[in-house]
Amino acid sequence: MTGPAFDDPAQVTFEKIQNAARLIKGAVLETPCLPAPRLSQLTGADVYVKYENMQVTGAFKERGALVKLSSLTEAEQARGVIAVSAGNHAQGVAYHAGRLGIPATIVMPVLTPFVKIAATRDYGAEVVLAGNTLAEAKEEADRLAAEKNLVWVHPYDDPHVIHGQGTIAIEMLAQQPDLEVLVVPIGGGGLISGIATAAKALKPSIEVIGVETTLYPGMWGAFYGKEVVCEGATIAEGIAVRDIGRLTTAVVRERVDDILLVSETDIERAINAYLTMLRTIAEGAGAAGLAALLSEPERFQAKRVGLVLCGGNIDPRLLSKIVVRELARDGRLVSIRIDTPDRPGVLGEIATVIGDMQGNVVDVEHHRLFLNVPAKGATLDVTFEAFDRPHGERIVSALRERGFVVRYLEIGERMD
Amino acid sequence: MTGPAFDDPAQVTFEKIQNAARLIKGAVLETPCLPAPRLSQLTGADVYVKYENMQVTGAFKERGALVKLSSLTEAEQARGVIAVSAGNHAQGVAYHAGRLGIPATIVMPVLTPFVKIAATRDYGAEVVLAGNTLAEAKEEADRLAAEKNLVWVHPYDDPHVIHGQGTIAIEMLAQQPDLEVLVVPIGGGGLISGIATAAKALKPSIEVIGVETTLYPGMWGAFYGKEVVCEGATIAEGIAVRDIGRLTTAVVRERVDDILLVSETDIERAINAYLTMLRTIAEGAGAAGLAALLSEPERFQAKRVGLVLCGGNIDPRLLSKIVVRELARDGRLVSIRIDTPDRPGVLGEIATVIGDMQGNVVDVEHHRLFLNVPAKGATLDVTFEAFDRPHGERIVSALRERGFVVRYLEIGERMD
């Protein structure tokens, strides 16, 4: 008996995605897909958001994990499963394995953030910390899988997993049948492989566009036949994948229309827009679709676009840094450095000028130790809120007119 | 012709709420009402959340505002409307007046945060800044209303507004018919008046419970016939109302089952739970319902409880402070002060002890200027992440065993 080649896209079918949709009903949330008028105003497209960050574990990964777990024989379920992940896949497998009473071992790199380890343990999985990278963790997982005869749950390169992720498209087109374009983040390619398969079957005219970060353009390289380098620290670690799937690559080549690359800055802007305009939390990977709209708005102009907000697991302190950086980029939070004579009353004078013009001082730092400061002088870093950029500039002009030497500090240049 | 007395609860009827529901359909979002398993695990109740923070303006206020605006004659609409608000009511009125082409004047106290002024202006309203308090802003609004013959849009003490807010209950019981208890924040009382009227008409067995902060227990005082004091700085400024409504008080007395009071700490915990477990943003008032479940869990045990997450407009920087405080309360973020001899290598020694035990140092401050520090010594404030409280305590013990004098810093005691 010869099965299909591992990377034959014919293995991934709409019929199996429909079966997966029936299977997960009631166990995985049918998340809302709602119009987002404020994002429409921001981008010029007619934007709809599929809130996969509202899943129990905060990400879509539950769908594929549950379909895979359900496909196992009783004997396999009794032996248990193993997965390597520092992120959403870990929690998706742990949660549904826990629900179904299947023993799950999750191998994570030793430097995985505490909160992710704790969440995975809380769902009932055994967490093994091994290696400094995912590749090293994978080595330990290979050893454990062989030793204990565990079943692998791959995060993307598995037809069952892809069929599970594809259920998102069935829901989206039932909830918003008029969608014309779906914009889908790509890590290993499981999500977009499932979505493209189901969406094109349901509505052949629909466009399916993938998004990767410029730092990890693996699927883009495969799609366009270019050599690429995948490296660097990205805010979208959920799609920072070096080894894209073989099966997913075949499916993407056959069924996806295009792949766009987005910058870190666009991803930050998108996270901020979700937070401040939609009051919802997107992790970097989850915001990649919106980042594509911000980066190439003309391409999506006036089209009905469905964004898959695929995950919301981001460190809240990172989130707050992003918000502050966006305020600074918009000119609504202004940081300046003022060289002052070190005498009483100077701070009061500066604060009064800013306050009288309705600037709102939020932070002051006073330094006397810098080597470039005259021994009798000091520098003062002042951060204040302004209505907008021109308002902030008027305040700075007023300070200069009073004789102060003022320069703008760049984002990240302040001492903190 | 004599109409009903202003405070006759018979003016507020289920039939009119049904009419309001038809009226707002398509113009106000039918927000999701979804199970929240992680909140169920946290509280012991069976929790469902109505996401009113997903409205365009981030709060339920749009419903009542639209119903009121639609009730005006053409002549009144042409003259325009006026409202006093520093918060969600301002945006709700401004947004729907803008949509309908009705001129809107919103009077806000002069110290209203920039972001709220800007949002209200962006929806097309004329914003007038006047007075230091809402009461003083109201005086200016009275003057403007008389001068320009504008129609008042009251935030809660108006039957049209109440009917609009009541549409939430119709949606909730259609989305989750098995709910047994609704928990509803109370500011002036408009939201709960509408919800109680509709919910009891649809399902007489349902319990409707209001929530106020202990700092502003106005409706609780009216309900139980007690003298109360309303004052203080609360994180739930959306329900910090001194002058509760006359009509709403009459409706609440007749149709609401109980009112609970919650502390600032419970509200902070609830905001944090929404953020970290549901990846959604609740402002203080929006989180009050969950705060009640956290504060009196036994009362809601195993019941199917619907929480109205009524608003999500909170300063993101405040949000990040709350998250950090919660980590500290849980013992997962530990701040300690160490008196050290001021010699090279001490910081390295301390950081090594913490790191070897898998604590993660996130902040260090070094002080030599405190008056209580010996002239040759220094204090070091170190903040590190721990897995949990016992882990943090083991690290502190290890430092003490090395001879360091260590004490825990309370939340807020650090220099920043």
Q: What is the pLDDT of residues B26-35, one digit of tens each?
A: 999 999 999 9
Look up residue A326 and give its amino acid.
E
Residues in chain A within 8 Å Cβ distance of B118? 387-388
Please tell me the predicted confidence (pLDDT) of residue A110: 87
Question: Going by C-beta distance under 8 Å and a sequence separation of 6 or more, which residues neighbour residue B242?
Answer: B216, B218, B230
CB contact under 8 A, B279 and A319: no
Poorest-pLDDT segment among A18-22, A246-250, A335-339, B55-59:
A335-339
CB contact under 8 A, B323 and A312: no
Coil, strand or helix at B360: strand
- Rounded to an integer, the average pLDDT of A108-122 is 85
CB contact under 8 A, A387 and B275: no
Going by pLDDT thresholds of 50, 70 and 90, the confidence category of residue B415 is very low
| Chain B residue at shortest CA distance from A355 | B111
**Is some CB atom of chain A closer than 8 A to the CB atom of B275?**
yes
CB contact under 8 A, B54 and A34: yes
Q: Best mutation site among B279, B321, B354 for testing chain A: the one with the most A CBs within 10 Å?
A: B279
**pLDDT more than 70, % of chain B:** 95
Residues in chain B within 8 Å Cβ distance of A54? 32, 34, 278-280
Q: DSSP string spanning B143-192?
A: HHHHHHTPEE--SSSSHHHHHHHHHHHHHHHHH-TT--EEEEE-SSSHHH
Instruction: Dig out the tokens for A185 from the structure.
Output: 């983040």
- What is the overall mean pLDDT for chain B? 92
Residue, of A321 and A392, whose pLDDT is higher: A392
Please tell me the predicted confidence (pLDDT) of residue B317: 74
Q: How far apart are CA A250 and CA B30, in angstroms?
A: 40
Interface contacts (A, B; CB < 8 Å): 75
Q: Best mutation site among A55, A279, A319 for testing chain B: the one with the most B CBs within 10 Å?
A: A279
Residues A155 and A68: beta-carbon distance below 8 Å: no
Nearest to A37 among B56, B320, B332 (CB): B56
**Is some CB atom of chain A closer than 8 A to the CB atom of B170?**
no
Question: Going by C-beta distance under 8 Å and a sequence separation of 6 or more, which residues neighbour residue A323?
Answer: A272, A275, A276, B316, B317, B320
Q: How far apart are CA B250 and CA B255, in angstroms?
A: 9
**Is some CB atom of chain B closer than 8 A to the CB atom of A351?**
no
Going by pLDDT thresholds of 50, 70 and 90, the confidence category of residue B1 is very low
Question: Going by C-beta distance under 8 Å and a sequence separation of 6 or more, which residues neighbour residue B401?
Answer: none
Q: How far is A239 from chain B (nearest CA, A)?
A: 19
Residue, of A363 and B282, whose pLDDT is higher: B282
User: What is the per-residue pLDDT across B57-69, written as a single tens digit (0 to 9) for each?
Assistant: 999 999 999 999 9
Q: How far apart are CA B65 and CA B185, in angstroms?
A: 18
**Is some CB atom of chain B closer than 8 A to the CB atom of A228?**
no
User: What is the per-residue pLDDT across B189-242, written as a single tens digit (0 to 9) for each?
Assistant: 999 999 999 999 999 999 999 999 999 999 999 999 999 999 999 999 999 999
**Is some CB atom of chain B closer than 8 A to the CB atom of A246?**
no
Residues in chain A within 8 Å Cβ distance of B332? 114
Please tell me the predicted confidence (pLDDT) of residue A36: 97
Going by pLDDT thresholds of 50, 70 and 90, the confidence category of residue A252 is very high
Beta bridge partners of B382: B336, B364
Residues B82 and B151: beta-carbon distance below 8 Å: yes
Residues A6 and A162: beta-carbon distance below 8 Å: no
Reply yes or no on whether the pLDDT at A411 is more than 70: no
Going by pLDDT thresholds of 50, 70 and 90, the confidence category of residue B117 is confident
Reply yes or no on whether the pLDDT at A416 is more than 50: no
Tally of residues, chain B: 416
CA-wise closest residue to A39 among A350, A297, A407, A414: A297
CA angle A292, A295, A300 (to 5 degrees): 65
Nearest to B320 among A37, A316, A360 (CB): A316
Please tell me the predicted confidence (pLDDT) of residue A372: 54
**Is some CB atom of chain A closer than 8 A to the CB atom of B397?**
no
Q: How far apart are CA A299 and CA A309, in angstroms?
A: 20
User: What is the per-residue pLDDT across B159-193, written as a single tens digit (0 to 9) for each?
Assistant: 999 999 999 999 999 999 999 999 999 999 999 99
Look up residue B331 and give its amino acid.
G
| Chain A residue at shortest CA distance from B281 | A279
Q: How far is B46 from chain A (nearest CA, A)?
A: 14
**Is some CB atom of chain A closer than 8 A to the CB atom of B281?**
yes
CB contact under 8 A, B279 and A276: no
Instruction: Dig out the tokens for A150 from the structure.
Output: 């565990």
Please tell me the predicted confidence (pLDDT) of residue B358: 87
**Is some CB atom of chain B closer than 8 A to the CB atom of A91?**
no
Nearest to A280 among B281, B332, B360 (CB): B281
- Rounded to an integer, the average pLDDT of A87-105 is 97
Reply yes or no on whether the pLDDT at B416 is more than 50: no
CB contact under 8 A, A34 and B53: no
Torsion sign (Cα): B384, B385, B391, B392? positive
Reply yes or no on whether the pLDDT at A356 is more than 80: yes
CB contact under 8 A, B280 and A280: yes
Residues B45 and B293: beta-carbon distance below 8 Å: yes
Please tell me the predicted confidence (pLDDT) of residue A368: 63
Reply yes or no on whether the pLDDT at A412 is more than 80: no
**pLDDT more than 70, % of chain A:** 95
Residues B256 and B208: beta-carbon distance below 8 Å: yes
Q: How far apart are CA B258 and CA A222, in angstroms?
A: 62
User: What is the per-residue pLDDT across A170-225, written as a single tens digit (0 to 9) for each?
Assistant: 999 999 999 999 999 999 999 999 999 999 999 999 999 999 999 999 999 999 99
Instruction: Dig out the tokens for B8 from the structure.
Output: 């006759």
Please tell me the predicted confidence (pLDDT) of residue A415: 43
Residues A69 and A100: beta-carbon distance below 8 Å: yes
Q: How far is B362 from chain A (nearest CA, A)?
A: 11
Compute φ and ψ for B305, nearest 5 degrees. Answer: -110, 130
**Is some CB atom of chain A closer than 8 A to the CB atom of B317?**
yes
Going by pLDDT thresholds of 50, 70 and 90, the confidence category of residue A348 is confident
**Is some CB atom of chain B closer than 8 A to the CB atom of A355?**
no
Of the ranges A264-268, A380-384, B315-319, B344-348, the best mean pLDDT one: A264-268
**Is some CB atom of chain B closer than 8 A to the CB atom of A99?**
no
Q: How far is B231 from chain A (nearest CA, A)?
A: 25
Residues in chain B within 8 Å Cβ distance of A313? 279
- Rounded to an integer, the average pLDDT of A143-150 is 96
Q: How far is A224 from chain B (nearest CA, A)?
A: 36
Q: How far apart are CA B86 and CA A326, in angstroms?
A: 24
- Rounded to an integer, the average pLDDT of A34-58 is 97
Nearest to A29 among B34, B281, B386 (CB): B34
**Is some CB atom of chain A closer than 8 A to the CB atom of B230?**
no
| Chain A residue at shortest CA distance from B26 | A35
Please tell me the predicted confidence (pLDDT) of residue A236: 94
Q: Dihedral, CA atoms, B298, B304, B305, B308, nearest 10 degrees?
A: 160
- What is the overall mean pLDDT for chain A? 92
CA-wise closest residue to A32 among A171, A148, A159: A171
Nearest to A279 among B35, B114, B280 (CB): B280
Residues in chain B within 8 Å Cβ distance of A37? 56
Residues in chain A within 8 Å Cβ distance of B53? 279
Q: How far apart are CA A71 and CA A162, in angstroms?
A: 13
Torsion sign (Cα): A355, A358, A361, A367? negative
Q: How far is A257 from chain B (nearest CA, A)?
A: 31
Going by pLDDT thresholds of 50, 70 and 90, the confidence category of residue B412 is low
Q: How far is B312 from chain A (nearest CA, A)?
A: 6
Going by pLDDT thresholds of 50, 70 and 90, the confidence category of residue B346 is confident
The helix (run of H) or strand (run of E) holding residue B408 is strand B405-408
**Is some CB atom of chain B closer than 8 A to the CB atom of A324?**
yes
Say if strands B104-108 and B81-84 run parallel, antiparallel, or are unpaired: parallel
Nearest to A38 among B34, B56, B385 (CB): B56
CA angle A171, A174, A177 (to 5 degrees): 125
Find residues 36-65 of chain B whose CB sits inside 8 Å of chain A: 37-38, 53-54, 56, 58
